[in-house]
């Protein structure tokens, strides 16, 4: 398994590298990074052979798209796959008035949800400008889930499906976008979306990991049977599968609960038995399912990004996976990496 290896995205003609560059960090996620570091990360990703880059208007309120667009300038547009998202519209605003959430020192743009037809059209047009490109390879309808909207989720979901998605279909028909889908945080919402529409792909954040394997029940088989490509984000569950169950470990962007800490500890103990880093097992497990085209990773430093690429190439003994199954930590129907001893 190699980071730069290309895989087909479902039934589309697009091919994505096994490891995608997730541009959350260069949007100043959790804490700021410099313009110089942002460019270094994109340049290093390119040198590692990564040719798939994912961003969103939300990330730094346009800052991620701006930085990514600039960093990719000078490279042949046909040589890489570029994805972004729709569902929020950005407007100029006084930085002191912006609710930036997890984004530190964002661009001076306020973000507002808009899943309407016109809102999606405007979102994509604005993204094209920030990314300095005339077309987008993939656009995902973003965050139509309960994690984002709470009690308003049914209403937002309905508008996205009935109004916003037809806008994406039109943009695809016009050649502005090559593939369309949904980018969400919950497997059941993702399943509902693909049952009501005909997307080319989905980006599922954090729900198919060593700690969460429920998408094996229905979402992944449905995607595979319909030729819907799957990109996975959050395969470290926002931290604990990268750091292990250490003090302060994060799970889904909050403190990891005790049962999660315990399960992660049991997984890590088996990995240590075979001298395999926990994040290497987490990455390779997520990438092993035949429905999965790419895993999208955001790295804060060049060292982290290099480690992730190296972890994908690490040879993992097949007995490690069998031990995980024997201990009830890996489902019997969960695919494991091809070529495991």
User: Hey, which residues are catalytic here?
Assistant: 54, 59, 85
Cα dist from 32 to 63, 65, 95, 152, 300, whole Å: 11, 15, 15, 31, 10
Q: Which residues pair with residue 231 across a beta bridge?
A: 203, 294
Cα dist from 158 to 139, 213, 229, whole Å: 18, 27, 23
**Distance in angstroms between the alpha carbons of the first and the last residue of the chain:** 14
Helix (H) or strand (E) holding 85: strand 81-86
Contacts of 129 (CB under 8 A, 6+ apart): none
Name the 3-class secondary structure at 143.
coil
Cα dist from 279 to 238, 244, 275, 289, 307, whole Å: 12, 8, 12, 17, 9
In whole angstroms, give the CA distance from residue 25 to residue 29. Answer: 5
Name the 3-class secondary structure at 13.
coil
Q: What burial letters (b/e) apply to 150-169, b meaning 16+ CB within 10 Å?
A: eeebeebbebbbebbbebbe
- 3-state DSSP helix/strand/coil percent for the chain, to nearest 5? 45, 20, 35
Name the 3-class secondary structure at 75.
coil
Beta pairing class for 177-184 and 201-205: parallel
């Amino acid at each position: 398994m190699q980071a730069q290896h290309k895989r087909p995205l479902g039934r589309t003609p697009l091919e994505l590298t096994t490891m995608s560059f997730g541009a959350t960090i260069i949007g100043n996620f959790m804490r700021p990074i410099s313009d110089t570091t942002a460019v270094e990360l994109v340049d290093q990703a390119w040198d590692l052979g990564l040719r798939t880059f994912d961003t969103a208007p939300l990330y730094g309120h346009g800052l991620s798209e701006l930085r990514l667009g600039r960093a990719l300038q000078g490279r042949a547009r046909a040589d890489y796959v570029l994805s972004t998202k729709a569902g929020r519209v950005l407007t100029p605003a006084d930085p002191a008035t912006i609710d930036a959430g997890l984004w530190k020192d964002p661009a001076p743009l306020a973000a507002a949800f808009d899943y309407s037809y016109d809102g999606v059209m405007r979102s994509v047009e604005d993204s094209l400008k920030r990314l300095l490109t005339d077309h987008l390879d993939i656009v995902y309808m973003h965050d139509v889930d309960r994690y984002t909207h709470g009690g308003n989720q049914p209403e937002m979901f309905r508008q996205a499906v009935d109004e916003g998605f037809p806008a994406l279909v039109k943009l695809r028909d016009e050649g502005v976008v090559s593939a369309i889908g949904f980018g969400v945080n919950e497997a059941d919402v993702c399943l509902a979306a693909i049952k009501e529409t005909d997307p080319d792909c989905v980006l599922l954040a954090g729900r198919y990991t060593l700690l969460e394997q429920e998408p094996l029940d229905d979402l992944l088989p449905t995607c595979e049977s319909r030729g819907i490509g799957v990109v996975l984000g959050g395969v470290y569950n926002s931290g604990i599968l990268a750091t292990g169950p250490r003090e302060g470990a994060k799970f889904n962007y909050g403190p990891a609960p005790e049962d999660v800490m315990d399960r992660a500890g049991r997984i890590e103990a088996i990995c240590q038995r075979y001298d395999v880093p926990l994040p290497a097992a987490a990455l390779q497990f997520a990438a092993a399912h035949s429905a999965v085209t790419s895993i999208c990773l955001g790295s804060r430093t060049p060292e982290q990004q290099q480690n992730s690429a190296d972890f994908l190439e690490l040879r993992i003994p097949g007995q490690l996976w069998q031990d995980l199954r024997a201990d009830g930590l890996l489902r019997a129907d969960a695919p494991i990496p091809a070529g495991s001893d």
